[in-house]
């Protein structure tokens, strides 16, 4: 007996398996050892994303999913699929989305091919951002809500992930009341350790590492974006220092945000 799955059917299987492992890895009622399910949850999520990318390419032209169009046998990698979505289909994928996707791909590859030490905070951040991106990408480019293909057993996990991206009033973050939007901005900001100015990369300065008049070493949280010491500021924070000129990022002439948009 043979079972044939379409690209999307296969993608949804990986997605639901990912949400199952996400549930196992995050449920506080389960043993500590269940944290290992974080590994398979991210691996399966990235695999689902890869197949959804290929489905978008296939709908434009089936030949786009193959590495060699003259001998259409082996399909492209997720990195090549992403390039074709941008450069051939001209899809609107932002710089931040692209950097996050590449970070997830690197983590997936490390988990598959190497020994890995799980950083639960980092995994949780990346998983949440990739899931939200996939939700949006699926609706924009496949014309249907991803929710319709998620098993009802995992609707609670889906809701938890999406809720993190909703902006409401105030929440307690790091002992400080901030807009609920800020924790997500802070989480996303941790994925970008450098700024690029005229094709040169500069390592971003974390809160508490400032060596200028703006240094606020006695504070445990940034007075603007509320980030804790040892973390990168949220994008747009008034107090982040430019690593190139040592002025405030929002006021300096290095235009690091413009470079990111470009």
154-187 pLDDT, tens digit each: 888 888 887 765 543 444 445 454 555 566 677 7
Angle at 123 between CA 181 and CA 131, to 5 degrees: 60
Contact in structure between 56 and 89 (CB atoms under 8 Å): yes
The pTM of this model reads: 0.63
Q: What is the CA 207 to chain-centroid distance, rounded?
A: 22
Can you read off the two tokens belonging to residue 48?
């689902």
Q: Which residue in this structure is represented by tokens 């802070």?
A: 186
Torsion angle defined by CA atoms of residues 172, 136, 81 and 199, in that order, rounded to the nearest 10 degrees: -50
Note the pLDDT tens digit of each residue in 196-221: 888 898 999 988 888 755 555 567 77
> Rounded distance, CA 60 to CA 64, Å?
8
- Among residues 9, 17, 64, the alpha carbon closest in space to that of 44 is found at 17
Cα–Cα distances in angstroms (integers) from residue 250 to residues 75, 220, 233, 236, 245, in the given order: 43, 22, 12, 7, 12
Question: What pLDDT sits at residue 21?
Answer: 93
- What distance in Å separates the CA atoms of residue 28 and residue 34, rounded to the nearest whole number? 10
Interval 53-98: pLDDT, tens: 999 999 999 999 998 877 778 889 888 999 999 889 988 887 777 8
* Residue 194 dihedral angles phi and psi, to the nearest 5°: -135, 160
């Amino acid at each position: 007996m043979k079972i044939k799955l379409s690209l999307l059917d296969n993608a949804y299987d990986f997605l639901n398996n990912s949400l199952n492992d996400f549930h196992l890895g995050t449920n506080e009622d389960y043993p500590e050892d269940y944290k290992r399910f974080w590994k398979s949850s991210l691996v399966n999520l990235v695999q689902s994303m890869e197949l959804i990318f290929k489905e978008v390419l296939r709908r434009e032209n089936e030949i786009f999913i193959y590495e060699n169009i003259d001998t259409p046998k082996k399909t492209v990698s997720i990195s090549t699929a992403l390039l074709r979505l941008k450069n051939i289909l001209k899809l609107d994928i932002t710089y931040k989305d692209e950097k996050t996707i590449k970070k997830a791909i690197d983590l997936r590859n490390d988990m598959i091919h190497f020994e890995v030490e799980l950083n639960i905070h980092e995994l949780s951040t990346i998983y949440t951002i990739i899931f939200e991106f996939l939700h949006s990408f699926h609706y924009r480019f496949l014309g249907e809500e991803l929710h319709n293909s998620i098993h009802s057993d995992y609707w609670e996990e889906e809701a938890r992930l999406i809720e993190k991206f909703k902006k409401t009033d105030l929440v307690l973050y790091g002992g400080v009341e901030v807009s609920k939007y800020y924790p997500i901005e802070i989480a996303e900001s941790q994925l970008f350790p450098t700024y690029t100015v005229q094709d040169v990369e500069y390592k971003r300065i974390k809160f508490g590492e400032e060596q200028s008049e703006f240094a606020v070493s006695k504070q445990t949280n940034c007075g603007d974006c509320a980030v804790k010491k040892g973390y990168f500021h949220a994008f747009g924070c008034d107090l982040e220092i430019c690593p190139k000129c040592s002025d405030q990022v929002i006021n300096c002439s290095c235009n690091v945000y413009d470079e990111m948009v470009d």
